[in-house]
Amino acid sequence: MAEIDLHLHTTRSDGTLTPAELVQMCAERGLRIISITDHDSTEGLSEAFEAASSFPQLTIIPGIELSTDIPGNEIHVLGYFVDYENPDFQVVLERFREGRENRGRKMVEKLNELGVSISWARVQEISDGGSIGRPHIAQAMVEDGYVQYPKDAFDQYLGRNGVAYVDRLKLTPAEAVQILIDNGALPVMAHPTYSASKSGMDEVDSLDETIEELKEAGLVGMEVYYKDYTPEQTERLAALADKLGLIPCGGTDYHASGNPGEPEPGSVGPPMETIEALKSLKKARV
């Protein structure tokens, strides 16, 4: 069991546990340091901090996850020690969430045209005021019996090559990194995979190159210990992080999604040195 999990979602985005429920679960599982990293939202953080006051052994690092696109793929950027009280930052997040809402509505329209008769009202209800995402649409499809598990909705309909896919508001990874730097947060690349390829390039070179470019833009770390990575993947990414001077981060990306076999908080995570490196970097920037 890991004592650190730096990638977790709540009902304020596409997770299904409330911030308080997630904090309690993490404390009961013996975690010592967690970061809550909802998509385009920091709205769960105050509830999480309040819940954590009952568990003195548990520390929360305020976090966020921003979604960005490159040709043919997406890149997610995590931000740690985010200043969630910054009003300019909140204006940006609200704009992203509005974009998510418009895109979600369009995807539901597309599904309806394809004979998948889920309702937008139900999707909104499932999202319960949180940052709307494809998992909410997938959940509505599970409820109405169109698919067995949320992940099946992605395979057939909602994934990038799915028939109901709609582009999101355009943001490049470098722009996301800059937004986080302006905020004072530490930008970290989420779940890098060798499929983050630029078209026509060798996959491995392409990942290295993308990360190197983002490092120039201010990236300080990348996930190495992640959800279901194999030891080989982790080893390869750890070597890349080391080569580029990036802090090796990670966590389970837990959503309580209802997909079978989802790794639970603390099943994988970075060592304490990661926290020390993040903290000293943050301190040096204040």
Interface contacts to ligand AMP, rule CB under 6 A:
14, 39, 67, 133-135, 150-151, 154, 159, 255, 259
Does residue 76 touch Fe ion according to CB under 5 A? Answer: yes
151 binds, among Fe ion, Zn ion, ligand AMP, none (CB under 5 to 8 A by kind): ligand AMP
Which residues between 40 and 99 bind Zn ion (CB under 5 A)?
65
184 binds, among Zn ion, Fe ion, ligand AMP, none (CB under 5 to 8 A by kind): none
Min separation Cβ 190 and Fe ion, Å: 5
- By CB under 5 A, how many residues form the interface with Fe ion? 3
Task: Report the half-sphere exposure of 36 (CA within 13 A, side-chain side).
Answer: 33
Q: Which of 241, 251, 248 is nearest to 274 (CA)?
A: 248
Other CB atoms within 10 Å distance of the CB of residue 185: 27
Does residue 14 touch Fe ion according to CB under 5 A? Answer: yes
DSSP β-bridge partners for residue 73: 70
Min separation Cβ 148 and Fe ion, Å: 19
Task: Give CA–CA dist 255/145, Å, rounded.
Answer: 21
Backbone angles phi, psi at 70, to 5 degrees: -125, 165
Q: Which of 38, 43, 223, 253 binds Zn ion (CB under 5 A)?
A: 253
Q: Which is nearer to Fe ion, 32 or 36 (CB)?
A: 36
Q: Which is nearer to Fe ion, 32 or 173 (CB)?
A: 173
Q: Which is nearer to Fe ion, 32 or 139 (CB)?
A: 139
Query: CB–CB of 44/19 below 8 Å?
Result: yes
Q: Which is nearer to ligand AMP, 14 or 43 (CB)?
A: 14
Backbone angles phi, psi at 52, to 5 degrees: -70, -15
Query: CB–CB of 61/34 below 8 Å?
Result: yes
Q: Which is nearer to Zn ion, 3 or 40 (CB)?
A: 40
Q: Which is nearer to ligand AMP, 127 or 206 (CB)?
A: 127
E strand or H helix that includes residue 248: strand 247-251
- Interacting stretch for Fe ion, rule CB under 5 A, among 21-29, 51-59, 68-76, 267-275? 68-76
Read off the amino acid at residue 250: G
Which residue of this chain has its Cβ atom nearest to ligand AMP in the complex?
A: 133
Q: What is the DSSP string of 58-93?
A: -EEEEEEEEEEEETTEEEEEEEES--TT-HHHHHHH
Which residue of this chain has its Cβ atom nearest to Zn ion in the complex?
A: 253
DSSP state letter for 147: -
Q: Which of 30, 72, 63, 70 is nearest to 221 (CA)?
A: 63
154 binds, among Fe ion, Zn ion, ligand AMP, none (CB under 5 to 8 A by kind): ligand AMP
Binding residues for Fe ion (CB under 5 A): 14, 76, 190
Binding residues for Zn ion (CB under 5 A): 65, 253
